[in-house]
Amino acid sequence: MWMILLILLVPYLLLLAIYRIWWLRTVKAQAEKKEMQYHRFSILIPARNEAENIQKCVESIAAIDYPSEYFEIIVIDDFSTDATAEIVRKLSGIQLIRLSESVSLPINSYKKKAIETGIATAKFPWIVTTDADCTVPRGWLMQFNSILQQEQIQFIAAPVAMQYGNTFLHIFQALDFLSLQGITGAAASTGFHHMCNGANLCYSKDAFEAVEGFRNIDHIASGDDMLLMQKIAQKFPKSIAYCKNKEAIVTTLPVNSIKAFFMQRIRWASKARSYKDARIITVLLLVYLLNVFLVLLLLMACFNASVWPVLIAGIMTKCIGELIFLLPIAEFFGMSALLLWFPFAQPFHIVYTLVAGTFGSIGKYEWKQRKVQ
């Protein structure tokens, strides 16, 4: 048991150490207004039953510090059954597209169809996507624009922070999301593998069309972000950038129930079946196997007391390694105090990784009042 633990734990800790180094080396994006060319952006917001959030999202975008003639806001209503579309119609200067007026049911990937429809309507060469439950900072587009002063950039991944309240579920989600964001920044900035979050992306319309958009991945319910990123990276090597700047951090909301949390994470995990990058598959497999082994140790310890030292050593070492990795990331996102909860969240994180990874491989889940696979 000790040998198996070392075989899984040592490469995992080495990987975290490498990610930490890469994160620290990631260059901060700088936005200089003087003598800067302003790029034009079409901001797409797919929305389904987001009546509670859509106005706040759109208003935060409308208030950004960027010339208004250089960006447009397009909301794509994804068959909402609430007042989402009606609220958007009342907002000045916002273009509304209703999928119900152009798309025939059934389809499996509604969000991809929403983005694809928005891109077909977009009049500007750079596409920016965010989610309807997000808010953006004032310097958001300026950070993208700064990176685009460089040549050959086709795709920019950018940071997302999760709001959290006083409940353990919210805190747990914020911690888990923080680790995912750290890996995203470290990996995307070096090109080791490609991760991103659709709540904060920028890519060229030409690149989207050059890889034929979501063709060959449009049957997959999830993956409008990472699978597209991987297609663009394959077509345009060394064209991926990461926007490491606090002025680019988009804020998103947590889910409010355990069921919704697992459905969300299973949805995220389900797209891994379609990854073609051996490096990210290897990383995900290592993480999954380590957590599976720790759960097996727990089950064995219930019947054999001699297993407890192996289990405790494994969990404590894993926890310390992850905390060291998270320290600079939490500082960047202004969430250092949140790490006090990390040891308490560790057992739940191990179990959740096992559940999400297992059911994600099956691919069936419920999201936004829909059952998809």
Q: Which of 222, 256, 290 is the last residue of a domain?
A: 256
**pLDDT tens for residues 177-226?**
999 999 999 999 898 988 999 999 999 999 999 999 999 998 887 889 99
* HSE, side-chain direction, 13 A CA sphere, residue 372: 22
**Binning pLDDT at 50, 70 and 90, where does residue 286 land?**
very high
Is position 88 within any domain? yes
Based on the domain organization, do 94 and 182 belong to the same domain? Answer: yes
Q: Is the pLDDT of residue 355 over 70?
A: yes
Is position 271 within any domain? no
Based on the domain organization, do 48 and 7 belong to the same domain? Answer: no
- pLDDT at position 32: 58
CATH number at residue 206: 3.90.550.10
- pLDDT at position 230: 95
**pLDDT tens for residues 15-49?**
999 999 999 998 876 655 556 789 999 999 999 99
Based on the domain organization, do 16 and 48 belong to the same domain? Answer: no
Based on the domain organization, do 170 and 230 belong to the same domain? Answer: yes
- pLDDT at position 219: 82
Q: Looking at 151-155, 339-343, 355-359, 369-373, which range is the least confident one?
A: 369-373
Is position 371 within any domain? no
Q: Is the pLDDT of residue 169 over 90?
A: yes
Q: How far is CA 258 from the centre of its chain?
A: 19
- pLDDT at position 359: 87
Is position 201 within any domain? yes
**pLDDT tens for residues 301-354?**
999 999 999 999 999 999 999 999 999 999 999 999 999 999 999 999 999 999
Based on the domain organization, do 100 and 158 belong to the same domain? Answer: yes
Average pLDDT, the chain: 93
Is position 266 within any domain? no
On whether the CB atoms of residues 157 and 195 are closer than 8 A, the answer is yes
Based on the domain organization, do 286 and 206 belong to the same domain? Answer: no
- pLDDT at position 28: 75
Based on the domain organization, do 94 and 124 belong to the same domain? Answer: yes
Give me the number of domains the chain comprises. 2
- In sequence order, the 6+-apart residues with CB closer than 8 A to the CB of 71 are 40, 41, 42, 43, 64, 124, 128, 141
Q: Is the pLDDT of residue 59 over 70?
A: yes
Based on the domain organization, do 315 and 183 belong to the same domain? Answer: no
Based on the domain organization, do 148 and 283 belong to the same domain? Answer: no
- pLDDT at position 34: 54
Is position 39 within any domain? yes
Based on the domain organization, do 194 and 67 belong to the same domain? Answer: yes
Is position 264 within any domain? no
Based on the domain organization, do 288 and 317 belong to the same domain? Answer: yes
Specify the long-range contacts of residues 166-173, CB closer than 8 Å, at least 24 apart. Answer: 168/341, 168/345, 169/254, 169/256, 169/257, 169/258, 169/261, 170/254, 171/338, 171/341, 171/345, 172/341, 172/345, 172/348, 172/349, 173/254, 173/255, 173/261
**Binning pLDDT at 50, 70 and 90, where does residue 372 land?**
low
Q: Which of 227, 256, 285 is the last residue of a domain?
A: 256
pTM of the predicted protein model: 0.93
- Residue range 164-178: mean pLDDT, rounded: 95
Based on the domain organization, do 109 and 229 belong to the same domain? Answer: yes
Is position 261 within any domain? no
- pLDDT at position 363: 59
- pLDDT at position 29: 67
Residue 218 belongs to what domain range? 28-256
Q: Is the pLDDT of residue 75 over 60?
A: yes
- pLDDT at position 104: 77
Render the burial of 257-280: b for 16+ CB within 10 Å, e for the rest. Answer: eeeebbbbbbbbbbbbebbebeeb
Q: Which of 203, 224, 256 is the last residue of a domain?
A: 256
